[in-house]
Structure 1
C-alpha cells in the first residue's frame, strides 16, 4: 500500500512539458510527469475499503529532500535527506536513521514504471469542471499498474488553466483484496524549508 501512495506522490512531483496533445497523451504526460520539480506541499486523504481513512501531508523541497507528516491517525513522520531516510516520533524534534536510500535511482525507477504503465491508458476523457468557483480542465482515464503489486486504476486530474498545474487529483485503485480512493491537493511551496538532521 505504501508503494501505491508513493507512486501517486511521485506523479505530482516531477516535470511537465508538452505541445498539442490528444486527450490520451495529456493523461499519460500528467501520469508520468505531473506538476514539476519545484517545492510542493500535498494534502493526501486515502480511504481504504474495509479499512481506515488516513490523512497525511507530503512536503518536498527537491527529489532528495522530502518529508511525510502523518496527521490522522497520528504516527511517525518520515524525512529523506542526502540519501538517508529518517523517522521522528516526536513531531520532528529528533530524528532516527531508518535506512540508506538512492533518491536519484528511486526517481528514475519510478519514472520508468509510470512510463510502462502509461502504455495501458484507456477510456481517456477530457473536459472542464468548476472547482472552487473557477473553471478547470479535467483529464481522466483508466490504466493498469504492471509491476509487482498489479492494480487497475482510474485517475482524474483538475488542471488550472492559467498555470497548467494540477490542483486536485483523485485515484481509484483496485487490486487483489485491496481497493482505495485517494484525493491529493498539491500547492506550490517556493519558500518551503524542511529539517536537516544532524
Structure 2
C-alpha cells in the first residue's frame, strides 16, 4: 500500500479556498470570455487566480499553462542549462482532456527541450495508455510517467498541473471518476489556476515530487 501524504496540499488549499474568493461563487463561464480571461492573465503574468469547475474549463486552463512552459523555453534558448519541468498529477489521463488540441501543446513543449512528468493515481492507465506510452517512446529523455497501482485514498489527493516555478492549476480533492463519466460539463470539480505564484508552485512541486519519489 502506498502511504498518502496530504499535508502540504491540504495546507495550501486551506490558505486559499477553492470554492470561494472575494465572496463570489463560480460564474457560468462563456467559453469565449473564459479563454480570453485565461489568455489575459497569462500574458500579463498576473498573480490573480482564475476559478473553474467543468472539464472543458480544465482543458483550456491546461492549454494555457502549457503555453507558459513553451514561452519559458523559447526565452531560455540562450541558456541551454535552464530546464522547464511540467508536473501532472491525475487519476486518469483521458483523451477528452489530453487529446487534441492539448496533445499538440504537449509535443511542442517536449520538442523545445522541456520535461514532463505524469503521475497517475490509479490501478491502471485507462483507455489513453497508448498516448502516454507513445510520448515516452518518442521522448524517452524528456517524458516519463509513473502509476501508483492503486486508487486507494485517491479522494484525499488534489490533482494538479505545475509548470516551471510559477504557474499551476489545482483541484479540490474528489473521488476517482471513470473516463465514462467524463463529459465537457461533468463532473464538476472546483479548481483554480494561477500563472504567477512562485510560493504556491513551490509548495505543489514539493508535494508532487514526494509522491513521485515514493513511487520511483
TM-score, structure 1 as length reference: 0.26
Q: Structure 2-normalised TM-score? A: 0.25
Q: Normalized per residue, which structure has more strand?
A: 1
Q: Which has the higher contact order (CA 8 A, sep 6+)?
A: 2
Normalized per residue, the structure richer in helix is 2
